[in-house]
Amino acid sequence: MILKTITFNMCHGEGLDGNVDVERQAKFLKKYKPDIIFLQEIDMYTQRVYSENQIYQFSKTVELQYRAMGINIKYKNGYYGDGLLCRFPIEYSANYLMPLLDPKNEQRGILCNKISFGTTKLNLFSVHFPTNFEERKLATEELINILEKIDENEVIIIGGDFNVGVEKIGKHKYEFSKSDKYYEYECLSNYLEKVNNVEDTWFSKNGNGCIDTILYSKNIKLLDYKTLKTKYSDHSAIYAEFEV
């Protein structure tokens, strides 16, 4: 079976023009005919998105009827976290909160979902790692703890914003340090393969960086991948096609 996946940090629907518009984001991704979309920075009912249920609107527009949301924080009269959209029924969904070293830091999560094709079990994770290296180390360890409990015959696909090389230096201010190797990916390479995308996926006044990607278990085959450039968020999306 061919499975088409996309990971996208949607920045609560806000494009580089400052307009919040989930529908244009969903229409942009829909033309790639995805079966699964991993979403980060999605809002539900917050003031800044005019009380919209963004995961429902995204699901409706992109025509992927099954959806799950992991709520990481309460924010401006609503909620904020990660999401998953899927062409197939979701049998199980759980959201694991990542460890925090400072309670003032933003709470992040690991959204885990399971679907089945006959005897094939797929574990689908949408993740958004912290902007602090020490917390990313803890988040990586937490993710590995979850992965180690999954049967080796089951399939794993993780889409997310891993924030590798990013360090927060102030309110809405970040630094990015490019490297040939990142600790987070090195640890996860014992369990998973990584899509080898190298183009920048994050764009901000503080700098650019390749911080979004898709990881997958070694029992499936990567057929194709590409960076989907868009001005509808401060992140590009990553597309990956698998033979499962």
Partners of residue 68 on adjacent β-strands: 84
Q: Which domains does the chain have, with CATH numbers?
A: 2-243 (3.60.10.10)
Q: Is residue 163 predicted with pLDDT exceeding 80? A: yes
Coil, strand, or helix at residue 210?
A: coil
* pLDDT at 109 (0 to 100): 97
H or E stretch covering 183:
helix 183-188
**Rounded to 5°, angle at Cα 82 from 81 and 88:** 145
* pLDDT at 137 (0 to 100): 98
Phi and psi angles of residue 82, each rounded to the nearest 5 degrees, phi first: -120, 160
Q: How far apart are CA 181 and CA 187, in angstroms?
A: 11
Q: At what angle do helices 54-62 and 22-30 cross, to 10 degrees?
A: 30
Rounded to the nearest angstrom, the gap between the alpha carbon of residue 63 and the centroid of all alpha carbons in its chain is 19
* pLDDT at 171 (0 to 100): 80
Average pLDDT of every residue of the chain: 96
What integer is the mean pLDDT of 202-224? 94
Contacts of 148 (CB under 8 A, 6+ apart): 191
Neighbours of 87 (CB within 10 A): 17
**Percentage of the chain modeled with pLDDT above 90:** 93
* pLDDT at 178 (0 to 100): 93
What integer is the mean pLDDT of 152-157? 97
* pLDDT at 214 (0 to 100): 99
* pLDDT at 173 (0 to 100): 87
- In sign, the C-alpha dihedral spanning 11, 16, 22, 24 is negative
Neighbours of 84 (CB within 10 A): 27
**pLDDT tens sequence across 190-206:** 999 999 999 999 998 87
Q: How far apart are CA 56 and CA 27, in angstroms?
A: 14
**pLDDT tens sequence across 92-149:** 999 999 999 999 999 999 999 999 988 899 999 999 999 999 999 999 999 999 999 9
What integer is the mean pLDDT of 159-169? 95
pTM, whole model, 2 decimals? 0.97
> Hey, what are 40's tokens?
């980060």
Which of 229, 227, 225, 228 minimizes the C-alpha distance to 241? 225
pLDDT band for 209, please (50, 70, 90 cuts): very high
**Percentage of the chain modeled with pLDDT above 70:** 100
What integer is the mean pLDDT of 201-213? 91
Please tell me which residue, 206 or 40, carries the higher pLDDT value: 40
Coil, strand, or helix at residue 61?
A: helix
Which of 106, 203, 222 minimizes the C-alpha distance to 155? 222
Partners of residue 59 on adjacent β-strands: none
**pLDDT tens sequence across 6-23:** 999 999 999 999 999 999
Contacts of 1 (CB under 8 A, 6+ apart): 117, 120, 243, 244
* pLDDT at 12 (0 to 100): 97
pLDDT band for 77, please (50, 70, 90 cuts): very high
